[in-house]
Structure 1
Amino acid sequence: MTETQKGVVALVAACVIWGLSPLFYKALSDVAPLEVLAHRTMWSLLFFAGVLAVQGRLRVLWRAFFSGGSLGVIALAAVMISTNWFFFIWSIQVGRATEASMGYYIFPLVAVLIGRVILGEHLSRAQWSAVALAGFAVLTLTIGLQIVPWISLVLATTFGLYGLLKKRLELGPVVSVTAEVLFLSPIAVGWLIYLHTGAGGVFGDDLVQTAMLIASGPVTAMPLILFSYGARRLALATVGVVQYINPTLQFLCAVVIFGEPFGPVHLSAFALIWTALAIYSTSALRQDSARRKARMVSEAEVVVATKSSRDASAKP
């Protein structure tokens, strides 16, 4: 198996785990979302720290907190990802998984818009069209159902801002996420202590629920590791297209398995989003192809220039 094939397998596996994760959190519906989040944070920390220990990279984690300006960025990233995790868990448990899937569908378009507003990045005509269609989809749901799809917007925005903050961290994905959950761990531990000394936590009361809460660590960590492995071996545009497996599986879980409502208004909104993503993905693939061609031409010109220089120096 080639490195590219290994990358595809790893990336698909990561997206499938993420896409089927609603089934996991739906099975924990009897556990309060904050308790699930606290356990997810703690067991993720233990899993990631174990991975870094095996790799001999725990010192890198220590340095991450004390390198110039990193602590503040890590703290903000931790707030964004914990907010994202909480509302995702909550939305699954209360029967709003369809909105959650929509959030991860529109996330790439929100991220592009964040890049334009905050970083001043240029948007192509295709990207502006895709963003406009996504905005029209949100408006369709708002008018048609007389509700603002705020869960979708919160999930997409927090994940978009999280990605923006990660750009400022010169750390690998495993190290940075470990630093984030380590930052959150005192809050998680405090909440679990509060539950188990008064309000009544479920950990230890039911064998299945206890095992699932422990498993929330690997369920969080493994797809991230697989995604990181795959992304390093594939073109960015390919990664962008493949990761739509995640919200698609979430959407199927919501509608087919959970039986959440999906009427004409939902269909119209999702059709607009799917169209927007098709436009955006096509544009991204074309840009990636153009960059690769330009790089190949540049490398060929360097080879020709080097050969010509050698030939000229070899002449008497």
Structure 2
Amino acid sequence: MAPEHEAAELRRTRIGVLYALAAFFMWGLAVPLHFKLLSSMPPLQILAHRIVWASLFALGLIVAFRQGRKLAEVILSGWHLLLLGVSAGLIAINWLIYIWTVNSGHLVQTSLGYFINPLLNVVLGVLFLRERLRPAQVAACLLAGIGVLVLGISSGEMPWVALALACSFGFYSLVRKVVSVPPLVGFCIESLLLTPLALGYLAMTFADGSAAAFQGQVGLDLLLVLTGLSTAAPLIWFAAAAQRLKLSTIGLLQYLAPSGQLALGVLVYGEAFGWVDAVAFGLIWTALAVYTASALRSASNG
């Protein structure tokens, strides 16, 4: 490999890592802190505002990056639009659960959901895309399953919140893998499809006097407007990182986000984390280590 090409590749990788770190920092620390500041509002109203402002932000980026023609092509493509309608519903469910979980003091459960998610993606790939598992991946999924069972047995119920987060985002990722559209265009269409419902709900809250926004609290209103930025920015940064980095590298870095959520929940907000939680998370972390080592070995052999 020529020195110039090596230098360009190294520069590309460094930029990719910076994009990835920015995205996972947002998801792990900045986004949960952002929604914690909105905890005085009903989760459904936060979700509706998030959808509306994210749509406006995404449309602005579509104009800025001159992707209007591609947006129109996807909208006029019936099959892609139908699948994006499904993914829009899944991400709305995920967002609502996430907002409720963060604001009700369950950041540890949130982090558990996103630790489980990569392993669930492996299972979904087998079930729906006929992908084949290596023995190490089977072992990783079994270990993660045992970790979830430990939590369920110790608390008397399954960690439904974490599982709902993992499943909603896992199926969302599956649909988006099937729909071959650019990340920004896909995200914009998802937001636009949800916007009429969000606007209709917000109109009802203003009509019946239950609206919490735009009631003279400028700080709260600004935080709501910024949900568009905190929603779209990390998704765009993640897409930029994915274009520059190996999937194995992305796989390693993605665990920074739930690690940040876990640290925030335990160290900042004082959520409970006993020895049973430590055992369960230990099993899941071991599963992730086994899975990641297998992915790295496969990438190096490839």
Q: Could you say whether these structures have the same fold, taking a TM-score greater than 0.5 normalized by the shorter chain as the test?
A: yes
Amino acid at match of 1:266: D
| Structure 1 counterpart of 2:162 | 152
Cα offset, 1:199, TM superposition: 4.0
What residue is the counterpart of 2:222 in the other structure? 211
For structure 1, the 5+ residue unaligned runs are: 292-316
Which amino acid is the alignment partner of residue 14 of structure 2?
Q
Code of the residue aligned with 2:283 in structure 1: it is L
2:273 aligned counterpart, secondary structure: coil
Q: Which residue of 2 aligns with 1:266?
A: 277
Contact 1:140 1:269 in 2 (8 A): yes
| Runs of 4+ off more than 3 Å | none
Counterparts of 1:96 and 1:148, CA distance in 2: 14
The Cα offsets for residues 187-239 of structure 1, whole Å up to 9 and x where unpaired, read as: 00001101111142121121111000000000011111111111111101000
Amino acid at match of 1:174: L
Q: Distance in 1 between matches of 2:18 and 2:112?
A: 25
Matched, 1:69 2:79: yes
* CA distance in 1: counterparts of 2:218 and 2:72, whole angstroms: 35
The answer for the alignment partner of 1:106 in structure 2 is: 116
Gap regions ≥5 residues in structure 2: 1-9
Q: Deviations over 1:294-316 (max 9, x none)?
A: xxxxxxxxxxxxxxxxxxxxxxx
2:20 alignment counterpart: 11
Counterparts of 1:23 and 1:54 in 2: how far apart (Å)?
A: 29
Aligned-residue CA RMSD (Å): 1.0
Counterpart amino acid of residue 227 in structure 2: S
Cα separation, 2, equivalents of 1:67 and 1:265: 50
Letter in 1 for 2:22: A
Q: Kindly provide the CA deviation profile for residues 23-58 of structure 1, in whole angstroms up to 9, marking residues without a partner as x.
A: 111111101100000011010000010001011112
Asked if 1:200 corresponds to 2:210, the answer is: yes
Q: 1:109, 1:130 within 8 Å by CA — same for their partners in 2?
A: yes
- Offset at 1:68? 4.4
Sequence identity percentage: 39
Pick from 85, 102, 106 the counterpart of residue 92 of structure 1.
Answer: 102
1:167 aligns with 2:177: yes
1:283 pairs, out of 291, 294, 297, with 294
TM-score by length of 1: 0.90
Q: CA–CA distance in 2 between the matches of 1:256 and 1:170?
A: 40
Kindly state the Cα deviation for residue 137 of structure 1 after the two structures are TM-superposed. 0.7
Tell me the alpha carbon deviations over residues 248-289 of structure 1, each in whole angstroms, 9 at most, x when there is no partner.
Answer: 001111111111011111111100010000000110111111
One of 103, 123, 131 as aligned partner of 2:141 = 131
Shift of 1:290: 1.1
> How far apart, in 1, do the equivalents of 2:273 and 2:219 lie?
32
1:238 to 249, 262, 267: 249
The code of the aligned residue for 1:36 comes to I
Distance 1:199 1:127 in 2: 52
Partner of residue 196, structure 2 = 186
Corresponding residue for 1:122? Answer: 132
Asked if the contact 1:145–1:265 (Cα under 8 Å) also holds between the matched residues in 2, the reply is no
Distance 2:186 2:209 in 1: 33
Residues 151-180 of structure 1, C-alpha deviations (whole Å, 9 max, x = no match): 111111111111110112121111001000
SS for the counterpart of 2:123 is helix
DSSP 3-state at the match of 1:2 = helix
Q: Distance in 2 between matches of 1:12 and 1:51?
A: 21
Q: TM-score, normalization: structure 2?
A: 0.94
Which structure's CA Rg is the greater one?
1
